[in-house]
Chain A
Amino acid sequence: MKILELRTIFGIFSLINPASILRDCSYLPLMMEHIRNFCIIAHIDHGKSTIADRLLERTGTITEREMKFNQVLDDMELEQERGITIKLHAIHMKYRAADRNEYTLNLIDTPGHVDFSYEVSRSLEACEGAILVIDASQGVEAQTISNLYLAIEAGLEIIPVINKIDLPGAMTEQVKHQIIDLIGCKEDDIIMASAKMKIGVDEILEAVVKRIPAPSGNPTAPLKALIFDSIFDSYRGSIVYIRVVDGVLREKDKVKFFATNKYFDAEEVGILEMDRLRTKELRAGDVGYLIPGAKDVHDTKVGDTITNANNPADGPLPGYKEAKPMVFAGLYPVNADNFGELRESLEKLRMNDASLIFEPESSVALGFGFRAGFLGLLHMEIVQERLEREYQQELITTVPNVEYRVIKLDGDVVLVDNPAFMPPIGDIDRIEEPFIRAQIITPTEYIGNIMKLCTDRRGVYKNTTYIDPTRADLRYELPLSEIIFDFYDKLKSTSRGYASLDYDFLENRESDLVKLDILLNGESVDALSSIVHRDKAYEWGKKLCAKLRKLIPRQMFEVVIQAAIGSKVIARDTISAMRKNVIAKCYGGDISRKRKLLEKQKEGKKRMKQVGRVEIPQEAFLAVLAMEE
């Protein structure tokens, strides 16, 4: 590619007249002062991805005709289906600003759901500014605040944007005041927008150019590039998304990955447009990709720093804190033979999802599988679905739980992320469970309901502040185990959908916890064990037995379901034996119908696990999730 070589030669002239050269021949800006790296952050559904659509359109990165669906950056099937962003999406745009200069804008759209906040924090590290979007009809919500704080902590310039001002329920003035109180900005700093009606798009772009500082690395220093994301491509191996902080990265450079201490020859380097666009080099301030030719999923790691092996930097960038998994669950292949395949799939998926962790484990009921850690239940659901869709894995998942810290009588400390591995009661001095700090933002009229909910969930009240006279900010400390299942749904239903929740890990605290075992015809099913608070154990055991009675089909013999703490049975239910199983008629159309049923049962059989003589369907292992209050 001649153009790129020219570019380097003309680098000097560009100081004199950068615009002319940019226009003619380059994908990359010559000077960092014409680069703006920013992300869009907000509470879920406030319109980040739709604003991104407008920016892509306005900058000509994508034509209206190419905009085949809304939220075009949400290119994962699951994202489109669910209408939410799951992963960060980086994209390169060109924008000619009012000052007549052409700017390179590297935009990162981020997810709003609390489970994916790791994607947000990683994005922030690649940016100098953030557009904080607030839905005019919703106002400031929990992740508005938490994501804002993350951005401030990362030292980013914040551009507040009130979106959806077209909505009849828009409370523009009120929301303005909320934002001013929150950020301490001036009213003029806030941009009024409607991504739907294409209002405010130019204002946003101009603000990005004017208010967000250009990147400040040193292009002549040794290479330092931060890996903020990665994907795995079955042909090319791992592809890492990077922000070059210092220096220049060129194809064929010998690069070193600090954390993994691996060396590669940079196979391909480029920028991230709607597709990858090869540019052969990236310089300080740029955002783009590198294909290192690493075929092993262990070679690259998100958060790692890349440097030039022949002219290495002293040390790596600070990188990221590892994501802290909140919930753990077993992932087992339906068919025991597929254990190896499942491992491979998990490893590849981890390339795409830096917050996923897993390690092998085994269960008497389920065979060999993995215990995986997730940031929350939605995250778990997404991982499960991606494994099924993108990697064609058939899975049985177990009931998720938090990680307990068990202090034994001999002083040993064990971390238990699978209830089945809880040490015997006699060896335990005390058990600690994770507590979280919860922030709940709600219209004031629901405060009473929410306090009751939090009390039921063993919450410790801290304090209430007011964002404005109608919106309260409640702070609680809650056991994580009490919020992972249905707390969020309950919170929503008790506040007509208005309350929002954000939380982060606080500390481990001692609680009066017991291990509850489930026995089927006297045999304990390890994958159904759970750890619960003693005060709730009876209620819990009763409900779980009742739920299992519904989920386990009748067998040809009676099945007794028991819930037990140690050897003490605290609840019991029975599934009476099947008394008869034969259809009366089998003529004409009955034949195909009956055959199809048998075919389906054969399929379903694969998803059944056997404990003793009892066949347990897959759903039973998730029984707790489907339990009503």
Chain B
Amino acid sequence: MKGKIEKLIINALVDYNEELENPAYGNPDEKTRLYSSEGGMDSIALVGFIADLEERLAVEFNKDIILADERAMSQKRSPFLSVQLLANYIENLLLESEE
């Protein structure tokens, strides 16, 4: 499932980058930085990206997931740092919602 989530994030990033035009997202992979001081998105771009991603997840997995929940906001290492961390985080949310 993790691979599928990563792919979904990467696809979303490629589409979103048509608007952002950030060279760092030219050819994204799982290591690509998202919200980060090193060439990633700023907070305004991140908010738009998260909104878009939530909707894609709802369509793909038929689950209404909120990405910016309390845990995400209070984690020491933000899940929004990279594609990989975000994919891990989403996988956990999806597994939990199945319980």
Do A and B bind?
Answer: no
* Chain B residues in the interface with A (C-beta under 8 A): none
